[in-house]
Chain A
Amino acid sequence: MFYHNFKYSLKILLKNKMLIFWTFAFPIILGSLFKMAFSDIENNEKLDTIDIAIIQTEEFNNNQIYKKTYEELSNKNNKNKLFNIYYIKEKNNLESKKKANQLLEQDKIVGYLFLENKKEIIVKTSGINQTVFKYVTEEIIQTEKIITNLIKEGMSSNSTDQTINQLYEKIYDKVLSINENNTILKDTTNTNLSYTMIEFYTLIAMTCLYGGILAMTSINNNLANMSSKGKRIFISPTKKYKTIISSVLASYIVQLIGLFILFIYTVVVLKVDYGNNFPLIILLALIGSLAGLSLGVFTSCVFKNSENTKTGIIISLTMLGCFLSGMMGITMKYVIDKNVPIINKLNPANMITDGFYSLYYYDTLDRYYFNIISLIIFAMILIVISTFSLRRQKYDSI
């Protein structure tokens, strides 16, 4: 009986055009739209190389930190090249400044650096390029200060070869620790870092949760108070738990088929990068789908509304969850995480999104497993409540 019901539940679900649209086609359509919409935005928002000028004062020429850093940032072989630099050296600094101002007036540069007794960054207007120039220069100034202080500290004692070596080690450690601790300086050059990734992660979350519609439909077909087919199944000698479990299992399989197709589509056609840890990606998809399934089971068993209303409930909850976890813009996820973190801690869409996000961006798996465990707890709570609700055998009215 279990296999018989499972087989037919599978057939019924796969032939239901409305369900297949929402769980198979809709995420693919939405994913394609994301790709079209956001890839253009992202391309437009890529930083162009910024034209700046540096007046070659004596101080600049003697300061290796500045000199080397700007050389590197304007090196044409550096794929992260940030600046095109005009080096200006006239008869004196005043003439050089005049020349720089001229370039600034002609909009050939966004600003220039003048390094003498004090450090001056001169820009004409405000804007993203000006801010980047200013920000990078200030970072260099900060780093220079740290290194200079360490050197002064080291030189104040009686310098020996040993103390000088120790000093170098100290400077090396300090600079290294800046790079390790400061996320701004984290190396991301080996990844295709893209904020649109989050859109695709929420898309996967949406597909996992939409799978709940499949489970809800399957269970509704078995409930005497929800459909005439349910009455017919109820009065058959097949035990309720057998029909329910086999139907739910069938809906889970269909859900996974849909998710698999979406994964293939996003990887092959949309070129989405989920990272390299495939077993953990699959585990997250399986658990995420389980959460979606539990949402469907819960909606089906606890709410006494019509099937259309229940579908509406699942779609609304899913879309709201996805919105809060960044589907319509990563800012929302950031705002919720920062201001009302409890919402995203309870939001299954965010648990799935954040799971993928953490797999992609973090070297450790703590955050990933936190999300996995949260999803399991979420699913278990809903299934337990649903089971108690389902145990009732007779109805007061149907």
Chain B
Amino acid sequence: MKNVIEVKNLTKKYKELKAIDDLSFEVYEGEILGLLGPNGSGKSTTINCLLSLLNFNKGTIKIFGKTMKPSSYDIKEKIGVVFQDIAVFEELNVIDNINYFCGLYIKDKDTRKKYVLDAINLVGLENYKKFYPKQLSGGLLRRLNIACGIAHKPKLIFLDEPTVAVDPQSRNNILEGIKKLRDEGSTIVYTTHYMEEVEIICDRVIIIDKGSIIASGTTDEVKHLASIEEKVTVEVVDLENKYLEEIKNLKHVDEVKYDNNILFITYKKGKNNLIDLIDYLKINKINYTKIFSERPTLNDVFLELTGKELRD
């Protein structure tokens, strides 16, 4: 696979604090790479270093095979960025905002007009073209923010937490749009601390904590790093303690928790754990209203590797 980004031994310090610590990774053409980590883990700092916005202490960054510098205009032409903060002009309406930022890349007016309309359609702002940012909801504003960053059809797109504080409808719309961009040939670096999003759209994941990579690979590969195999949740009213003790002794059970009439059971391994549990509940005539099984999530992996939750 062809490298679009190649980062080697990247280190960035703020005085004594290492924001990025000897980071090395690659991003391949046509993939969505998820850069996952809690707040303050170094995701945005990494992006800013990649874009030459920030000085860094050590390491090399190559984009499209060339060293990235502030004056690398040929590389910049092919890059689109959606920052975590909303970066639009309050004084311009939706279409003017997109047209302005697109105009920094595309000179030809006709081409630009088409690109602007494509971007509006991609993020679903067709009905809001003449709206000003202050007239848009948080979700629509995020969509505008994305449209401004990708309207020029870049080959490489950085999306820095684009769905923060967004309603579910807008989130789905944004995630669908990102997949569409990948399908159209763009390479995407997607930073977030929402593991559900990563599981939905990312081809590969890099988990960062305290500026270092603690896990990387496809989502399945990363999940295998967790020691648990399955999580079962049962909604059951007034479960007696004696049953709790018996469940703990069932085959493959690692941990049992009962809280607010919800029973959580984690299994270290095994394949028919759910069937075995249902059989046990039936035999003991324990009534339950809901039961479901889950694979471990990226958050479980992160919790196991760092001892804290991704959203901490």
Contact = CB atoms under 8 A, between A and B. Distances in A.
Interface stretch (B103-111, B165-173, B220-228, B300-308): B103-111
Nearest to B69: A393
Nearest to B77: A237
Contact of B107 (A1, A234, A395, A398): A1
B280 interface: no
Contact of A239 (B48, B73, B79, B83): B73
B83 A397 contact: no
A398 B83 CA distance: 13
A15 B89 CA distance: 10
Contact of A394 (B55, B77, B81, B105): B55
A8 B100 contact: yes
A323 B148 CA distance: 45
B51 interface: yes
What band does the interface of chain A fall in when counting residues whose beta carbon is under 8 Å from B?
20 to 34
Contacts of A32: none
Interface in B1-56: 14, 48, 51-55
Nearest to A243: B104
B74 to A, nearest CB: 8
A239 B104 CA distance: 10
Given A12-B91, A235-B76, A228 B104 contact: no
Given A236-B101, A237-B105, A228 B87 contact: yes
A306 B288 CA distance: 58
Nearest to B89: A12
Contact of B79 (A224, A235, A393, A396): A235
A134 B55 CA distance: 77
B103 A232 contact: no
A234 B70 CA distance: 9
B234 interface: no
Contacts, number: 83
Given A8-B96, A396-B55, A397-B14, A16 B104 contact: no
A339 B53 CA distance: 50
A8 B93 CA distance: 12
B308 to A, nearest CB: 25
A83 B53 CA distance: 77
Contacts of B79: 235
A243 B86 CA distance: 20
A218 to B, nearest CB: 12
Interface of B: 14, 48, 51-55, 70-71, 73-74, 76-77, 79, 81, 83, 85-89, 91-92, 96, 100-101, 103-105, 107, 148-149
Given A235-B52, A393-B71, A394-B54, 18 more contacts: A5-B103, A231-B53, A231-B87, A232-B81, A232-B148, A234-B53, A235-B53, A235-B76, A236-B101, A237-B73, A237-B76, A237-B105, A394-B52, A394-B55, A396-B54, A396-B55, A398-B53, A398-B54
17 contacts: A5-B103, A8-B96, A12-B91, A221-B89, A228-B86, A231-B53, A231-B87, A232-B149, A234-B53, A236-B76, A237-B74, A239-B73, A394-B52, A394-B55, A395-B53, A397-B54, A398-B54
